[in-house]
Structure 1
């Protein structure tokens, strides 16, 4: 009889232990979930907190709301916000468009050349990176959307420090730097100098920023935008690791001060779940080189020869799927390295940028 009681007691304590573990897991998940939701909510700044509060009254027609089944387009904007006063907005240094089809689970990434000369509604002709200074993210979204023939529903904006914080928060990225990169930037006490050596290495936030900012190649911004697309793919891959998924609350909290978006927490959670299934199916620069022509005005700008052909080019890119080819090639190569080496446009380091300012 005593043996039976002992046996029952062991099972009872085993059950209690299991329940305690389950309670801990559920509690941790709830804590993470609540923290993730709060962090996402903080990305959506009030007009008083926003860098773009002065543009809130600009009456731009909103694109159709994303319901979760149709293609979603998210504009990623990066700028150098150094030395700006309140209500001052810097031109966008980087513009990337992520286009995701939730049905096919395919994503495409486009980088927009910042010196592209376009019509900005209500402001005439200008470089496309000036749109944000004239009407904030909404005007930038509509300008790029009109150019590419796409409805852009969302934007995400960050500055140098936000990019660095994200890369550090995910533990950095192991990456192939395709050549030596060096540039001296005397602003801010040389805080943003670039000094990278060629080779496979671990890039923390500071070094990653150096890599994506460097544009002193023969092809200037053309090679820089290609590097940015490649590095962003590596960041997305690192964020999908099990360890970083478990640490998502901490990652989001570390970048909250630097991020601004019109995405709601619900939309971000939907996109986050979708992101776990999505494959990167292609990336491209727009406008492509074959659709650029020399400027007649003498300014260092990039003029588009045929905007209708540009929109056709975008649709052609969205119909491509490079993921199957890349997967096939990866079977016979070193899959441990990120795809960052030698770009197709890279042809030296003696060229100058089409804009005089440092990167």
Structure 2
């Protein structure tokens, strides 16, 4: 065998080895990608979910959820830009049933009377502020989650909190939102001074990210204050969901979901959780989302934190148990 021929065969052999190695590398990448894709499929990803917002005292009494079902607490803070402390301004608990593709939602009034260990009775909205002022931002959010967990006595698996800027950024990301406003809304305490006194009229409105955020924040001008605000939050959530799921936005949904962490104050959801959640709602229809209310009465009660009497919402424990048992634990 000549020297040139030997060199050619050696070169071919090396190329062959390189080719097999490269092919193996591609196979590994594809297999790895397939595995990740499989793992991110909602029914695979959410088989085992965490439980937050429970204490040692009630952890053993919390009901067990069926496989592929979980509860997410959405929270809005009135924390302003540059601040690291705020009140829980809006709270909505959503039960996700991946088996039947159904979603149950209930808003919890910010003025709900709750007991805060070490302080006494106060409004739910104050819990986060009090603990953030003494123990830091994250501990304050966790304290609010825990208070809601104790109030509802259902497992809270995930929590997501954003503030005004974050909510507006998310709304802007899906474009103008069509909202069916249930009644005239006068902006009495807007985030932007230029919007004070503006009226968002009853009926179908197409709102910008700024105006939809003003809408869900308003309550002082509403006939039923907190309960009126709950109605606004519900129609806003439905409008944002429908806008996000428009054909033109569907392809960008996983990227949008995975970027949500940039808009959040606090969450225990990972980007993988968010991407999987995006895949779960990709074929969402608004008829799959069902709203409920927790009946209660507005009363003047003594606040152990503020050391005076103020208006608080006292929820009916039996009604809480009825709604939660029927819609949030199955």
Give the TM-score range, shorter chain: 0.5 to 0.7
Residue among 151, 166, 173 paired with 1:169: 173
Q: Deviations over 1:46-74 (max 9, x none)?
A: xxxxxxxxxxxx9966979x999242111
Q: Given that residues 168 and 210 in structure 2 are in contact (C-alpha distance below 8 angstroms), is that contact kept between their aligned partners in structure 1? A: yes
Residue among 119, 123, 127 paired with 1:123: 119
- Matched with 2:250 is 245
Helix, strand or coil at the partner of 2:94: strand
Structure-1-length-normalised TM-score: 0.62
Helix, strand or coil at the partner of 2:288: strand
Extract unaligned runs of 5+ from structure 1: 1-29, 38-57, 321-359
Within 2, Cα distance between the matches of 1:252 and 1:268? Answer: 6
Residue 227 (structure 1) aligned with residue 237 (structure 2):
no
**How big is the alpha-carbon RMSD for the aligned residues of Structure 1 and Structure 2?**
3.5
Within 1, Cα distance between the matches of 2:244 and 2:224? Answer: 30
Q: Higher mean Cα deviation, 261-270 or 251-260?
A: 251-260
- Matched with 1:316 is 326
Residue 299 (structure 1) aligned with residue 307 (structure 2):
no
Residue among 190, 209, 212 paired with 1:205: 209
Query: CA 1:122/1:311 → structure 2, altered by over 3 Å: closer, same or farther?
Result: farther
Q: Given that residues 222 and 228 in structure 2 are in contact (C-alpha distance below 8 angstroms), is that contact kept between their aligned partners in structure 1? A: yes
- Matched with 1:283 is 291
- Matched with 2:146 is 142
Residue among 275, 279, 295 paired with 1:269: 275
Matches within 5 A, 1:30-69: 69=67
Number of residue pairs aligned between Structure 1 and Structure 2:
260
Q: CA deviation at 1:227?
A: 1.3
Within 2, Cα distance between the matches of 1:72 and 1:210? Answer: 30
Q: CA deviation at 1:187?
A: 6.9
- Matched with 2:6 is none
Q: CA deviation at 1:129?
A: 1.5
Query: CA 1:211/1:269 → structure 2, altered by over 3 Å: closer, same or farther?
Result: same
